[in-house]
Amino acid sequence: MSQHVREVAGKLARSIRFRKLLLLLLVLMFVLGLVIVPVESGVLSAKILDYEDGLWFAITTVTGVGYGDMYPVTLLGRLIAVILEVGGVVLFGSLVAFVSVEILRYQEDFNMRRLLERQDELHMKLDELKKHLDYLVRK
């Protein structure tokens, strides 16, 4: 892992807001992924039959992947799916935006540091040129 990635990941890990969003997303997926199983599993045409299916459905729904291999068939199951979809879009989208902003901030800071270093180098060269010019003028 590059130093840049480690720095951004460290900053995200220290961010209370990011951790709260991530925790809320994980709780939403876990709880609703488990809650949907008893709602769906008693129905003959059900696709979500066990807790593994429920968690798989929750993860693919929240992340927007939605393979279509698991889907609710009951009204209550569909309502749970809507909550997962809306909550997932909001929370997952917020996390992606949060990461993007941190990457952009890091790049901006990195570029500013490089610019300031270059500016310092140019000032040093300019000072050398002034000294050299003063020396030549005194001769």
Domain containing 38 — which CATH number?
1.10.287.70
User: Does residue 1 surpass a pLDDT of 70?
Assistant: no
Domain membership of residue 127 (yes or no) is no
CB 26 within 8 A of CB 39: no
Q: For residue 115, give every residue at least 6 positions away whose Cβ sits within 8 Å of its Cβ, in sequence order, or none.
A: none
Q: What is the pLDDT of residues 66-76, one digit of tens each?
A: 888 999 999 99
Whole-number Å distance between alpha carbons of 35 and 124:
67
Domain presence at residue 26:
yes
Q: Is residue 124 part of a domain?
A: no
pLDDT of 33 above 80: yes
Structural domain count, the chain? 1
pLDDT value of residue 75? 96
* Structural domain span for residue 54: 3-98
List, for residues 91-123, the tens digit of each pLDDT value.
999 999 999 999 999 999 999 999 999 999 999
Asked whether residue 130 is domain-assigned, the answer is no
Q: Is 66 within 8 Å of 60 (Cβ atoms)?
A: yes
Q: Residue 111 domain-assigned?
A: no
Backbone dihedral region for residue 66 (phi beyond 0: left; psi -120 to 50: alpha; all else: beta):
left
